[in-house]
Amino acid sequence: MKSVLPAIALMLLASTTGAATLDLHGLKPEEVAIWAAPVEGSGELASLRADAAVNPASTMKLLTSWTALNRLKPGYRWTTRLVSAAPLENGVLQGDLVWVGAGDPRFSTANLQELLRGLRQRGVQRIDGRLLLDKSAFSSIGTAENFAGDEGKSFTVEPDTHLTGLKVAWLRFFNDANGARVVLDPPLAGVSLQARLSSAGGSAACPDVRQWVQIRQQGGQVEVSGKLPSACDGSQAYVNVLEHNEFAAQSFAALWAELGGSGPQGVALAPAPAGARTLAQFQSEPLTVALNDINKYSNNTMARTVYLTLGREEGGSDTPAAAQRAVRRLLAEQHISDEALVLENGCGLSRRERVSARLLGQVLLNAARGPYAGELLASLPVASEDGTLKRRFASIGPRLRMKTGTLKDVKALAGYWQAADGRRLAIVAIINSPRALAMGPALDGIVADLIHRFDRSAPDSSQLAPAEAIMQP
């Protein structure tokens, strides 16, 4: 039986039902901030501590995504270039090659390989000069302070102008007639891989190869040990190795060698010289593709990179500060108060970032009523179907799309519900409490209750929207 205490008098301002209470499912009022309002119409459905400054965790990515769609536009692309001022004679580039990094958040080793194929097609076979990394796209990358205990984990990888494959190398596992073994892809010269693997035989399943092997990593040393079942043949796991410049340069060298190229002669950091000509370039997929990865899978590195791209396009000598200006300027233009806003890196991987539930909710309303509503909606996890909501809200289903957020002491949800009649509800619910991680079910319960209250105000069935029209981005 539910206790009486959690049924706090949260004022629900729906005009048809008047004031009511919302069950907080065991949360104390001071532990949660809630805001909900219909997209169509005016007024608020619910508001509790909606103006309190709270840590939003990864729901902060919604603010960065909204700003990017409005400032960069959905079709924005990043262009990575290889340039040189040196002469090219008989297949030999007689001087330095400059890799001009663009801060492409999705730039992969496959993209780098395509870029290098373009260099070969240009006629370059040997690089007699250095590989220079031009990092001028970002003046600095900003911070994500107080995550030292998570160093080396993929979600803490910092953004970079030369981000390649999210700075992870892949361990590819094989168990066939040639025995159990593992290879590093790409084969980075600065990484030593030591393996002690044997075949376990049998018919055991291998949903995750890490269940069967131990992976230890320190700096450029990777050790793998264990017994592989036959089902692990073809499995893979990633390791976060090296720092950005080393990873980029060594990936370049490995892939260039695979293509039959030779050189370069060392690596350095330097801007492209005046008059350098483009020898090869790679253009990314549109911004919307990056936003799908960012919001559905809560990719911190990509989100921080998009945030810095906002700063680069805004202009100024300090990229993170310029990114913050871009966000605040758009809020001001849309008459949304930024009083509660504290920005560190725009992705929510932060102990310092703050928003109010009302601010985030008003951003959701503005987005839903604006020209890029479909693009933002399409990037959000679909309840019970994909992303970080794949295993949540099974009883509610795909008409709910929300960005999730999780940190120590933080649990958050922000997004949209679409009723059967097509009406939409913007919802923000954020827990800030030492109990946050244990109170995930309470958060889901609050969202479900808001949905049910909203649905009870639905018109008669003759006004319902056809099923195929529901939640179309």
Say if CB 250 and CB 190 are below 8 A apart.
Answer: yes
Say if CB 295 and CB 289 are below 8 A apart.
Answer: no
Domain boundaries, the chain: 29-75+288-458, 79-163+244-285, 165-240
> What pLDDT score was predicted for residue 21?
78
Mean pLDDT of 150-167: 90
> What pLDDT score was predicted for residue 363?
99
> What pLDDT score was predicted for residue 219?
79
Does 15 have pLDDT greater than 60?
no
Mean pLDDT of 343-349: 98
Q: Report the chain's mean pLDDT, rounded to a whole number.
A: 92
- What tens digit of pLDDT does each residue of 69-121 get? 999 999 999 999 999 999 999 999 999 999 999 999 999 999 999 999 999 99
Q: In this structure, what are the phi and psi dihedrals at residue 97, rounded to the nearest 5 degrees?
A: -110, 130
> What pLDDT score was predicted for residue 149?
73
Distance between CA atoms of residues 228 and 271, nearest Å: 47
> What pLDDT score was predicted for residue 464?
37
> What pLDDT score was predicted for residue 13?
42
- Among 7-21, 127-141, 365-379, 452-466, the range scoring the smallest mean pLDDT is 7-21
Mean pLDDT of 290-301: 98
> What pLDDT score was predicted for residue 458?
63
The CATH number of 29-75+288-458 is: 3.40.710.10
The CATH number of 79-163+244-285 is: 3.50.80.20
Does 202 have pLDDT greater than 70?
yes
The verdict on whether omega for the bond into residue 207 sits within 30 degrees of 0, i.e. cis, is: no
Distance between CA atoms of residues 251 and 165, nearest Å: 10
Mean pLDDT of 204-231: 93
